[in-house]
Amino acid sequence: MRLEKCWFCSSTVYPGHGIQFVRNDAKIFRFCRSKCHKNFKMKRNPRKVKWTKAYRRLHGKDMTHDSTFEFERKRNRPERYDRNLAENTLKAIKKIDKIRSDRASDHIKNRLKTGKVQRQKEARKQLEQGIHLVKAPHALAQDSSLCLPKIKVNVSQAQTEENQPMEE
């Protein structure tokens, strides 16, 4: 039993799911669901369809080269069973997974960083330029910080009574 990759979107196809199409030149196309299958039949190029992994890798949205990818390689010759090796492999898979996902998220974070910086600069500029819409210049002159003015509320002062000690 093997988990395969969908040819169109590159997600994993679990057993019992999807469709396999074998072309006359014996090339096998596996699809995870009918969405991918129908897209394939429409002859769409996955590298141009935004939500596929192929597009994302091609356009640098997701991580492409990494040493963690080399751990997972299809081996054609089976190895003799060794319990220790099996145990170690299972533990290793978890660790490798974690590292890989960390690296992938870091990659995305870095990618989005420049946008963030830009947006912050823009926001600051907008704030400086538009502060006159929410704060009168007089108020600005008094309190030069770029935030909303504090609204003074007239509280009706009760007559101050002398604090008389309570009659006992």
Partner 1 sequence: MVQYNFKKITVVPNGKDFIDIILSRTQRQTPTVVHKGYAISRLRQFYMRKVKYTQQNFHEKLSTIIDEFPRLDDIHPFYGDLLHVLYNKDHYKLALGQINTARNLISKIAKDYVKLLKYGDSLYRCKSLKVAALGRMCTVIKRIGPSLAYLEQIRQHMARLPSIDPNTRTMLICGYPNVGKSSFMNKITRADVDVQPYAFTTKSLFVGHTDYKYLRYQVIDTPGILDRPFEDRNIIEMCSITALAHLRAAVLFFLDISGSCGYSIAQQAALFHSIKSLFMNKPLIIVCNKTDLQPLDGISEEDRKLVMEMKAEAMKTVIGQGGEPTNEEGVLLTMSTLTEDGVIAVKNAACERLLNQRVELKMKSKKINDCLNRFHVALPKARDQKERPACIPQAVLEAKAKQAAEKEKRKTEKELEDENGGAGVYSASLRKNYILANDEWKEDTMPEILDGHNVYDFIDPDILLRLEELEREEGLRQAEEEGDDFEMDGQELSLEEQEALAEIRKKKSLLIQQHRMKKSTAESRPVVPRKFDTDRKFTTRRMGRQLSSLGLDPSLAISRARSKSRGRKRERSVDKREGDGRDAMDIDDNQASKKLRLRSTSRSRSLSRPPGEVIPGEGLKDSAQKIKAIKLAKKSVLKRNKNARRGEADRVIPTLKPKHLFSGKRSIGKTQRR
- Binding residues vs partner 1 (CB under 8 A): 1-3, 12, 67-68, 71-75, 78-83, 85-86, 88-90, 92-97, 99, 102-103, 106, 113, 117, 120-121, 123-124, 126-127, 130-131, 133-136, 138-140, 142-143, 145-152
Pick between residue 48 and residue 143 the one whose CB is nearest to partner 1: 143
User: For partner 1, which is the closer residue by CB, 50 or 80?
Assistant: 80
Looking at residue 70, the DSSP 8-state letter turns out to be G
C-alpha–C-alpha distance, residues 81 and 85, integer Å: 8
Integer Cα distance of 23 and 44 in angstroms: 17
Nearest distance in Å: CB 124, partner 1:
7
Judged by beta carbon, residue 28 or residue 134, the one nearer partner 1 is 134
At closest approach, how far in Å is the CB of 21 from partner 1? 21
Comparison of 64 and 126: residue with beta carbon closer to partner 1: 126
CA-CA distance, 53 to 74, in Å (whole number)? 20
Annotate 26-54 with DSSP letters as a single string: S-EEEESSHHHHHHHHTT--GGGSTTSHH
CA–CA distance, 106 with 104 (Å, rounded to integer)? 5
